[in-house]
Structure 1
Amino acid sequence: MIKKGMRRQIVLHYILVVFMALLLVEVIFLLAIRTYYYDSVYQKINSYITAADEYYQTYLVPGGAESSSQMQGLLKHFKMDLTELEILSLKGDVITSTTGFQPDRTITTSDVPEALGGDFGRWVGRQAGTNESVMAVSKVLTIHGRDTYVLRYMTSVERINSDLFNITLVSAAIGAAVMAIVVLFSFGLANSIVKPLNNITAVSAQMAKGRFNMRIKGDYKYEIGDLASTLNYMAQEIVRSNQIKDDFISSISHELRTPLTSIKGWSETLVSGGYDPEETKLGMSIISKESDRLIGLVEEILDFSKLQQNEMKLNIGVVNVKVLLQETILNVWAKAEKKRIRLLLECDEQLHVKGDANRLKQVFLNLVDNAIKFSHEDSSIVLSALPHNSHEAAIAVRDSGIGISESHLERVRDRFFQVDALNGGTGLGLAISQQLVELHNGKLMLDSELGSGTQVTVILPVTDRLPDAEPAPELQPDPDAEI
């Protein structure tokens, strides 16, 4: 007995389907053989009756002295081997027959009434007295337009039934052989499915215990092969995610420790006293700066957590793109000045998009900040905004910095991933930007070449509705900046 499981289900279903199909074919085959044999006998008797009817309706005279001898001639000329020919009255009484037995008996089988109805009568059953299987075919004999007698042929079908029984046995034997072969093949088929699944299950159980270095081995095909490849890929991604997470923990620990060390050091220094106002002011400035840095790191982690839990709420409105980019430039102006980087703005005055102004500003601050971080000194960063098509705008941040290699370009939007860990940061900025853009039903596209710079393009839906009047921010005049 096969134990419960997929193997058992496959074997039983396969056997059931083949058995039902085989049974249906054999039943149809046996019925067709039986019909063929019986119809062959019927057609042969039918031809004899037809010939007798056509001949004697011309020459046989009803009644009279010669009718008895004419009936005997009919019996003699149209008798069949192994078949009894009877001449009946219209009431079904036997007048004479080729056997000569029981001439006074009355036939009550269904073939006689059918014949009297004007058609050939046919009956298959068991003969009374002998219990022998027989077939009887009857036809009214018409002489000079008058129904006179009933011709009835009766033959045994025992031999036919015996042959049909033998054919049935042979068919059953063939069916049993086919089912035996099917059982063997069904086990092979079940094993070809179940064994790989057992292997996959065993490896998956190891993965569930944290052994993500395990891999499903074997050249499996079709859906099972896809399942094995998917699980292997999942394990690989988990290992990679764990590595990124470990790198993030290490990086964020360093990022947090550096400002905390500065804050702690200057706090202790200031508490000890004895410093002039300038030194005290410097210490307080450093504490404030490092506190802001800590707040920025914490807010970035909180934003990422909200996005992961789908708890980020957007205040959708109409945003003037030029005003948004000007505010972005004002926020990063000082940082760009330190590296003598020029910030250039190319934007249509009447370009408006639908979105949350604060969150979109967060996106572009991150993009421009990254551009400044990886740009060379005395270079330029271009912020451009142009219609992309009739219902979208393309806002791009383009630099001529160090660029991103092709291998890193595929992973740079992954959470916690950093192209250059030495530059600091959490590795969440671009991942957060990507998700914020997608929340605005937009797209973020990266185009970069190592050593030639990077362009990040944000596609956002535009709107024709103008925002409430708001003054554009005034930029600080600077000979090295162009807007």
Structure 2
Amino acid sequence: MKKISFKLAFYFLLVTVLIESILFISLYTTIVHSRVQEELDALLARGNSHRDVLQKHFDDTTISHVALMESEAETKVIITDANRNILAQSKNINKEMKIHLHTDLSAVPSTGMVLDDHWRSSDYICSISPIISNEEVQGYVYMFLETESIKALVEKITFKFTITALLTVCVSICTAFFFSRIITKPLVRMKKATEKLSNGDFTVVLQTTSNDELGELAASIQKLANDLHYMRQERSEFLASVAHELRTPLTFVKGYADIAKRSHISDDERTEYLSIIKEEVEHLTRLIQDLFTLAQMEQHTLTIEKEHVHLYDYLEKITAKLKPTLASKNMHIHIHCSSLLTASLDKVRFEQVLLNLLLNAYKYSNTDASISIILTQHHGQTVWRIEDQGVGIPEQDLPHLYDKFYRVDKSRTRSTGGTGLGLSIVKEIVELHGGTISIESQLHVGTTVTIALPTN
């Protein structure tokens, strides 16, 4: 994570410095240009001010007065006639300054102009203001300012900008690394969490207080850890249940097979023991078949092939198969279904659903009880209700009925205990049909299973 922290800080700093550089250069150029332009405008304005006075009184006294005023100022002045002969000048006028007297003045406007603004390469900047009287040029006022003052001003601005830029870069560096650590810190925690998950440790706890993408990622990893933890527990319980379910009938088969091999037992006893062995083998066969069905569901290879079914005839055939079994308890199944009702479903798979539910109702009902199958259709759905008069299911067990190998009857007797997979398979088949299943029960009153399937 140090690499990503460094990368984030580096890229953040690079972008920040790039933006700051553009802004600093733009601001620096604007300020310098503005300050230099102010000096140029001030020099021209000063020359125009002298020109305005001289236009009113263009005589030796006024000329000398103007030159005297500039003799103690930072600026210098040269006053010439129309032919650019010097009439007066302030002190410290050198030859370089007098060179400007020979500049072409054909383009000089009446408002004056800057003759030389090359402050970086020249020693002076210069402006000219024509003295016009009666619409004729009487002379010119040349103003000079040493560029050293401008250069000093620019150096001062440059120094301040350099200090500010360095401080800004330092702050940007600190900020970049600070925020990169803030961003990468949860990533480091998530990396450690995923390493724990890869090592089989699912006891991962991640804080998910933030509402951004990192918070969503942390929540996803936490959910993954919880799901894996649950799946590992479920797998352990599943394997333990499978081992138990296989061990019990195999123990019976082995035990009774050893007894049946004894030579001194009677034929009736041997027949009884072989019948028990046959029952346990059938139990194993059902368990293996249920496990195979569950495996198909887990791999999404269990397919549903729907066809058009007349529901009353379909139920008559299924209940007919159960009549011998129900007769042992003198139980009856009552079908409440219109002979005109039809629906689209997988006949084989849904028969598995109905047989499972009806056999459950049989196992947990008393003698002379009855089972009702009620079918209705409305709003594009076929609703199946299977009601029994059995012992009922405790309320605390209802949420767990679809768990694999879960039994309300914890005694696991061979007479009442199935494989514990039936309702899990029932739920999967119903959902593959696009339907829903719900179970309501009341102790010592009975249980009602409601299945809602799309009609088509």
TM-score bracket relative to the smaller structure: 0.7 to 0.9
In the other structure, the counterpart of 2:383 is 394
**For structure 2, which runs of at least 5 residues remain unmatched after alignment?**
none
Aligned letter for 1:402? G
**For structure 1, which runs of at least 5 residues remain unmatched after alignment?**
61-65, 464-483
Q: Equivalent residue of 1:105, what SS?
A: helix
**Does 1:208 pair with 2:198?**
yes
What is the rounded CA distance, in whole Å, between the counterparts of 2:162 and 2:210 in structure 1?
37
CA apart distance, 1:292: 3.8
Q: Equivalent residue of 1:301, what SS?
A: helix
Residue 167 of structure 2, aligned match among 167, 177, 181: 177
CA apart distance, 1:301: 1.3
In the other structure, the counterpart of 2:344 is 354
Q: 1:106–1:194: structure 2 CA closer, same or farther, 3 Å change rule?
A: closer
In the other structure, the counterpart of 1:10 is 8
What is the rounded CA distance, in whole Å, between the counterparts of 2:155 and 2:424 in structure 1?
79
Alignment check: 8 A CA contact 1:87 1:151 kept: yes
- Between 1:225-234 and 1:356-365, the stretch displaced more is 225-234
Alignment check: 8 A CA contact 2:308 2:344 kept: yes
Residue 444 of structure 1, aligned match among 427, 436, 441: 436
Alignment check: 8 A CA contact 1:7 1:194 kept: yes
What is the rounded CA distance, in whole Å, between the counterparts of 1:127 and 1:74 in structure 2?
29
In the other structure, the counterpart of 2:75 is 83
In the other structure, the counterpart of 2:149 is 159
Aligned letter for 1:41? E
Aligned letter for 2:36? Y
In the other structure, the counterpart of 2:99 is 105
Alignment check: 8 A CA contact 1:251 1:421 kept: no
What is the rounded CA distance, in whole Å, between the counterparts of 1:182 and 1:95 in structure 2?
59
In the other structure, the counterpart of 1:22 is 20
What is the rounded CA distance, in whole Å, between the counterparts of 1:112 and 1:445 in structure 2?
103
CA apart distance, 1:71: 7.5
Alignment check: 8 A CA contact 2:260 2:274 kept: no
CA apart distance, 1:108: 9.2
- Between 1:349-358 and 1:220-229, the stretch displaced more is 220-229
Q: 1:144–1:127: structure 2 CA closer, same or farther, 3 Å change rule?
A: farther
Determine what percentage of the aligned residue pairs are the same residue: 21
Aligned letter for 2:158? T
What is the rounded CA distance, in whole Å, between the counterparts of 2:344 and 2:69 in structure 1?
107
**Does 1:384 pair with 2:368?**
no
Alignment check: 8 A CA contact 1:388 1:459 kept: no
What is the rounded CA distance, in whole Å, between the counterparts of 1:416 and 1:88 in structure 2?
117
In the other structure, the counterpart of 1:33 is 31
Residue 236 of structure 2, aligned match among 226, 242, 246: 246
Alignment check: 8 A CA contact 1:412 1:430 kept: yes
What is the rounded CA distance, in whole Å, between the counterparts of 2:238 and 2:418 in structure 1?
9
Q: Equivalent residue of 1:384, what SS?
A: strand
Q: Equivalent residue of 1:125, what SS?
A: coil
CA apart distance, 1:161: 3.5
Alignment check: 8 A CA contact 2:260 2:270 kept: no
CA apart distance, 1:255: 3.0
What is the rounded CA distance, in whole Å, between the counterparts of 2:140 and 2:365 in structure 1?
117
Q: 1:170–1:286: structure 2 CA closer, same or farther, 3 Å change rule?
A: same
Q: 1:151–1:241: structure 2 CA closer, same or farther, 3 Å change rule?
A: same
Q: How many residues align?
A: 445
TM-score calculated relative to the size of structure 1: 0.70
CA apart distance, 1:151: 5.8
Aligned letter for 1:18? T
RMSD: 4.8
CA apart distance, 1:95: 6.5
Residue 433 of structure 1, aligned match among 403, 411, 426: 426
**Does 1:299 pair with 2:289?**
yes
What is the rounded CA distance, in whole Å, between the counterparts of 1:398 and 1:312 in structure 2?
28
TM-score calculated relative to the size of structure 2: 0.73
What is the rounded CA distance, in whole Å, between the counterparts of 1:171 and 1:35 in structure 2?
15
What is the rounded CA distance, in whole Å, between the counterparts of 1:397 and 1:299 in structure 2?
25
Q: 1:211–1:72: structure 2 CA closer, same or farther, 3 Å change rule?
A: same
What is the rounded CA distance, in whole Å, between the counterparts of 2:286 and 2:70 in structure 1?
117
Q: Equivalent residue of 1:314, what SS?
A: coil
Q: Equivalent residue of 1:155, what SS?
A: strand
Alignment check: 8 A CA contact 2:120 2:147 kept: no
Aligned letter for 1:314? I
Q: 1:215–1:126: structure 2 CA closer, same or farther, 3 Å change rule?
A: closer
Residue 260 of structure 2, aligned match among 269, 287, 309: 269
* Cα displacement string for residues 300-326 of structure 1 (whole angstroms, at most 9, x for unaligned residues): 211221222222233233334444444
Aligned letter for 1:386? T
* Cα displacement string for residues 333-375 of structure 1 (whole angstroms, at most 9, x for unaligned residues): 5555555655443445444443422223323333444444555
What is the rounded CA distance, in whole Å, between the counterparts of 1:326 and 1:97 in structure 2?
132
Alignment check: 8 A CA contact 1:404 1:453 kept: no
What is the rounded CA distance, in whole Å, between the counterparts of 1:82 and 1:312 in structure 2?
100
**Does 1:405 pair with 2:395?**
yes
What is the rounded CA distance, in whole Å, between the counterparts of 1:398 and 1:97 in structure 2?
126
CA apart distance, 1:120: 5.1
In the other structure, the counterpart of 1:44 is 42
Q: Equivalent residue of 1:460, what SS?
A: strand
Alignment check: 8 A CA contact 1:196 1:220 kept: no
CA apart distance, 1:275: 6.2
